[in-house]
């Protein structure tokens, strides 16, 4: 898991990992203002990689402060996301593999690759093609979301 950065200690030890030594980049599947999402395959089996899936998704958040893109809040949010993902275990939640800071100053979050895509992508495709969702599909997805939340409810706090 991600090591908490102590302001008094040097950050060198958390940036010693070369992402290219761990993963082969196949293709970019997404890009945003803070980073990129890549389809990758692990180069060698490591004890830190807990999945039998060959392809993974590597989400990379640019941590370079001089780029003025990533703020401290963005970094903390991404680290919270990685920590939360590491605790979620359910067939309807994308599997977390690992996260680490690399020597090119990126926070890397590795997850299982879902060939069929995610719910957001499916909804976006339907909207673009002006195809309404069938009621039974909506109910099925809703039940899957509820089941995943039920199993992992200890990880969620809802403010009212």
pLDDT, one tens digit per residue, over 4-44 is: 333 333 333 456 789 999 999 999 998 887 789 999 999 97
Domain segments of the chain: what residues? 12-112, 119-155
Rounded to whole angstroms, how far apart are CA atoms 27 and 55?
A: 11
pLDDT above 80: residue 54 = yes
**Is the pTM value of this prediction over 0.75?**
no
Q: What is the mean pLDDT of residues 87-115?
A: 89
Comparing 77 with 130, the larger pLDDT belongs to 130
Fold of the 12-112 domain: Phosphorylase Kinase; domain 1 (3.30.200)
């Amino acid at each position: 898991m991600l090591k908490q950065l102590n302001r008094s200690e040097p950050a060198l030890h958390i940036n010693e990992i070369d992402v290219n030594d761990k993963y082969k980049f196949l293709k970019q599947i997404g890009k945003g203002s803070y980073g990129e999402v890549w389809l990758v395959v692990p180069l060698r089996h490591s004890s830190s990689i807990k999945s039998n899936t060959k392809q993974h998704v590597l989400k990379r958040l640019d941590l370079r402060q001089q780029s003025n893109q990533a703020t401290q809040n963005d970094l903390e949010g991404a680290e919270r996301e990685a920590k939360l993902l590491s605790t979620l275990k359910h067939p309807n939640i994308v599997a977390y593999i690992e996260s680490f800071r690399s020597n090119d100053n990126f926070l890397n979050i590795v997850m299982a690759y879902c060939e069929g895509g995610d719910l957001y992508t499916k909804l976006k495709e339907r909207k673009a093609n002006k195809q309404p969702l069938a009621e039974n599909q909506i109910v099925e997805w809703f039940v899957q979301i509820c089941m995943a939340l039920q199993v992992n409810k200890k990880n969620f706090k809802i403010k009212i």
